[in-house]
A = this chain, B = another copy of it.
Amino acid sequence: MNRFGKAFSFTTFGESHGPAVGCVIDGIPAGLCIDEAFIQSELDRRRPGQNKFATARKEGDKVEILSGVFEGLSTGSPIALVIFNENQKSGDYENVKDLFRPGHADFTYFHKYGIRDYRGGGRSSARETAARVAAGAVAKLLLKALHVEVKSGVCAIGTIEAIQYDFSRVAQSPIYALDASVEKAQEDAIMEAKNTHDSIGGVALVHIVGAPAGLGEPLYYKLDALLAEAMMGINGVKAIEIGEGFHASSLKGSTNNDAITKEGFVSNHSGGILGGISNGDTITCKVYFKPTPSIFIAQQTITKEGEEVECSLKGRHDPCIAVRGSVVAESMAALVVADLLLLNMGSRLEHLQKVYM
């Protein structure tokens, strides 16, 4: 099950230390300008090795388009994108090949499949998220053509939370921070974790602006349910909330309901979604990342044979996956919206009449 989406869908492949990772994107409407430089620029935002807050592992992440584009335009055929792996150091993983790293998928892949590619986590590596970002970039091209925008940033690192959200500054921040007033403290929290051979969790915020009312297919492909699936499926995510989110559970209805006036919704506790369908307001969700499981402090674990051993990791790892994870969350949000835009085309007879008659 390596596919996401129904109408606008993508299938990914590839392992951390195999020849390549990539994706096949299906359902792209014909006639869309496919800007290869933009796709590359999105991958660059996710790419590691850019500063001290991320892993020193350098991945070129050079994307190649193998199909589906003719004279710069999408043809309606699937677009395959491939990123050949470079700079792999499989040797780093020789010492963990027979044991299960705590907090990682080693244990579960082995128990599910009876075999696992131990090199860098194999298929379970966050390396695969490069393919998500590549697919997300194509989704963003479609969204742009329909005047929908997806934005993301980091709102919390450990316990240091943003007070205000300024998406316009994210691109300038090495940790994609939304709030200048806490950025330094957030950076310090990451460096403190890194310097103590530990890691730290964080939270990404995603906003979708300009989406028309009506997106989301009730009752089992709702916009919020699909966002939840999309976000929870990202490596390291343990919680997701829409709008007022988990705080809503402690409120009264009179506080949480958004009153409606001629000008629109007075507040946005709903996060732009009612009954699983977009209401035209900004769609908001927060994505909670656990701390990177790869830490250099010794940990207790067992081998495949069940013997207890100490796990001592080597290699290069992000001290905080929420930072680069925010770009992945943004990409997944774009993919969700692209899918729902296509699905919603059939929601009314008058839409069909507009196209066919």
A269 → B minimal CB distance (Å): 8
Q: Is A96 an interface residue (CB 8 A)?
A: no
A75-B122, A146-B352, A238-B243 given as contacts; is B218 within 8 A of A30 (CB)? no
In the bound assembly, the distance between CA atoms of A197 and B274 in angstroms comes to: 22
In the bound assembly, the distance between CA atoms of A300 and B64 in angstroms comes to: 40
Q: Is A38 an interface residue (CB 8 A)?
A: no
- CB of A275 within 8 A of CB of B26, answer no
Report chain B residues within 8 Å CB of A14. 66-67, 80
- CB of A201 within 8 A of CB of B256, answer yes
Q: What mask results when residues 303 to 340 of chain A are scored 1 for a CB within 8 Å of chain B, else 0? A: 00011100000000000001000000000000000000
Number of A residues whose C-beta is below 8 Å from B?
165
- CB of A78 within 8 A of CB of B277, answer no
- CB of A66 within 8 A of CB of B19, answer yes
**Listed residue (A252, A262, A291) with the most chain B CB atoms within 10 angstroms of its CB:** A252
- CB of B1 within 8 A of CB of A288, answer no
Report chain B residues within 8 Å CB of A117. 70, 75, 77
In the bound assembly, the distance between CA atoms of A294 and B351 in angstroms comes to: 32
A146-B352, A201-B250 given as contacts; is B26 within 8 A of A1 (CB)? yes
In the bound assembly, the distance between CA atoms of A354 and B348 in angstroms comes to: 13
A239 → B minimal CB distance (Å): 4
A341 → B minimal CB distance (Å): 7
- CB of B346 within 8 A of CB of A27, answer yes
Q: Is A232 an interface residue (CB 8 A)?
A: yes
Number of copies: 4
- CB of B158 within 8 A of CB of A250, answer yes
Measured CB to CB, the nearest residue on chain B to A294 is B253
In the bound assembly, the distance between CA atoms of A306 and B263 in angstroms comes to: 9
Q: Is A165 an interface residue (CB 8 A)?
A: no
Which listed residue (B158, B216, B246, B299) contacts A259, Cβ 8 A? B299
A20-B67, A240-B240, A352-B146 given as contacts; is B344 within 8 A of A156 (CB)? no
Report chain B residues within 8 Å CB of A299. 254, 257, 259
| Stretch of A40-48, A53-61, A97-105, A171-179 contacting B (4+ beta carbons < 8 Å) | A97-105
Report chain B residues within 8 Å CB of A199. 252-254
- CB of B32 within 8 A of CB of A218, answer no
9 closest A-B pairs by beta carbon, nearest first, are A105-B275, A225-B233, A199-B253, A108-B277, A1-B221, A239-B241, A229-B229, A30-B113, A1-B217
Please give 12 more A-B residue pairs, beta carbons under 8 A apart, in addition to A20-B80, A76-B347, A159-B250: A7-B343, A20-B67, A30-B113, A75-B122, A76-B109, A113-B214, A200-B251, A238-B241, A253-B293, A260-B300, A260-B301, A345-B351
